[in-house]
Amino acid sequence: MRAPGRSRWLAVRPWLGTAARVGLAAVWLVAGGSKISDLGASGRAVNAYQIFPYDLAVVIGAALPFVEIALGVILLLGLATRLAAGISAVLLVVFVAGIASAWARGLSIDCGCFGSGGNLAAGQDPTYGAEVLRDLGFLVLAGFLLVWPRTPFSVDGVIGGPPERADEDPLAETEGQER
């Protein structure tokens, strides 16, 4: 017999997945959209981290908004959700590492996550802790979608059939075994 809490979780999980997918899509669309109109500023923001040579930082900064917008569109449609979530997770880990690196090296920069970024004006304090926590929250959304990628209102659900049945659990250790 199935526990009532587990049945409730299995009923709610697809809708949580939809919220995670749409929420992460919105993050990428806003982040990419805020940078795409000034690719030079995006490149300067990447260069402010002092990790890459200037020319490489400019290329990364110019490409990043397009990658973010593509991820946003793919997630919004629910197309290749697990792949998009995996790429999102990798990018978010890189972003957290970059912010932590800037913090540890005493740099005073704006992360550039949702705008131009770059060096902060004198007297402005960086908000590294909040930025890391925010990106870790987004990483949780990506992780959820890595485990449970099929959601209602997604192309994945239309092409691959309906979202997982309520009795399917990819984390179950053996078929029919309760956790």
For residues 93-108, one letter each, b for 16 or more C-beta atoms within 10 angstroms of the residue's C-beta and e for the rest, the string is eebbebbeebbeeebb
pLDDT in tens, 19-42: 999 999 999 999 999 999 999 999
pLDDT in tens, 138-169: 999 999 999 999 899 888 866 665 555 545 55
pLDDT band at 178 (very low <50, low <70, confident <90, very high): very low
Calculate the alpha carbon distances from 56 to 16, 52, 61, 87 in Å: 38, 6, 8, 20
- Rounded to two decimals, what is the model's pTM? 0.85
pLDDT in tens, 63-116: 999 999 999 999 999 999 999 999 999 999 999 999 999 999 999 999 899 887
Instruction: For residue 109, list its beta bridge partners.
Output: 119
pLDDT, averaged across the chain: 88
Weakest mean pLDDT among 14-18, 162-166, 173-177: 173-177
Instruction: For residue 137, list its beta bridge partners.
Output: none
Nearest residue to 89 via CA among 130, 44, 28, 40: 28
pLDDT, position 175: 46
Residue ranges of E strands in the chain: 109-110, 118-119
Query: Of residues 78 and 117, which shows the higher confidence score?
Result: 78
CA–CA dist 63, 127 (Å, integer): 25
Nearest residue to 171 via CA among 138, 148, 145: 148
The residues spanned by each domain of the chain are 7-158
